Amino acid sequence: MSPEQRRTMLVQATIPLVIAYGRAVTTRHIAQAAGVGEGTIFRVFADKDELLDACVTAVLGPGNTLAELAAIDLAKPLPERLTEAAEALRADLDRMGAVLGALHIPGAPRPQPRAGREQPRLPDRAAAMASTRDALADLFAPERDALRLTPERTAQLFLGLLLTEVTGGGEAGDIAELVDVFLHGALTPDAGKA
């Protein structure tokens, strides 16, 4: 396994532990979860904080979302595709919130970076949102001729609606309901008929 593959494997094994234990997670827990010796961690990460920073970078990046969106079968009906996409996006946003929340406990001091250590490079949020929008546009593309707007604009509106629903502060609603209202509007089919 290459060092980059090992880094990825350790990060993926660590994320659920960070959600469960926050900064209190130990390298021993991580090694057990990853099925490696504890020394393996320190061959690819300088210390636990560098590994935790890599977890933050991983959950903030669009990689997982893009992979899940690309795996959606374009032969399925559009409502099913959008429901799967919304579920994937909601799960990634929930995971992102859980990791960031677990690592930032109010009142708990954040370890100071050691001298000479670089701060983690966080993903470019605008680029991540653009790539997510483009992946969603691919899900709308088979219905291009039936859409009122371009697949890209339709995807942008769908993404905006989903993000508002997920981050709006209230309880997240039913995804199927969101997809239905997005595709068919807020009015009943008989509304406005005299």
Per residue in 65-80, pLDDT (tens digit) is: 999 999 999 999 999 9
pLDDT band for 19, please (50, 70, 90 cuts): very high
- Residue 106 clears pLDDT 60, i.e. is over it: no
For the packed helices 125-140 and 78-103, what is the interaxial angle rounded to 10 degrees? 160
First to last CA, the chain: 69
The closest alpha carbon to 22, from 109, 127, 122, belongs to 109
User: Does the pTM exceed 0.95?
Assistant: no
CA distances in angstroms from 142 to 78, 118, 131, 166, listed in the order given: 9, 45, 18, 26
Helix axes 3-21, 27-34, angle to 10 degrees: 120
Q: DSSP letter string over 87-98?
A: HHHHHHHHHHHH
Instruction: Over range 4-32, report the average pLDDT.
Output: 94
> How many helices (H) and strands (E) in the chain?
9, 0
Whole-number pLDDT of residue 194: 58
Model confidence at 105, in pLDDT bands (50, 70, 90)?
low
To which CATH superfamily is domain 1-60 assigned?
Answer: Homeodomain-like (1.10.10.60)
Domain(s) of CATH 1.10.357: residues in the chain: 61-105+118-186
Q: What is the pLDDT of residue 3?
A: 85
Distance of CA 118 to the CA centre of its chain: 24
Intervals of CATH 1.10.10.60 along the chain = 1-60
8 Å CB contact between 59 and 15 = yes
User: Which residue type, as a one-letter code, is found at position 1?
Assistant: M
pLDDT the model gives residue 108: 46
Instruction: Tell me the pLDDT tens digit for each residue of 139-191.
Output: 999 999 999 999 999 999 999 998 887 665 545 568 888 899 999 988 887 77
Would you state the pLDDT for residue 118?
63
CATH fold label, 61-105+118-186: Tetracycline Repressor; domain 2 (1.10.357)
pLDDT tens column, 46-63: 999 999 999 999 998 888
Amino acid identity at 120: P
| DSSP reduced 3-state for 24 | helix
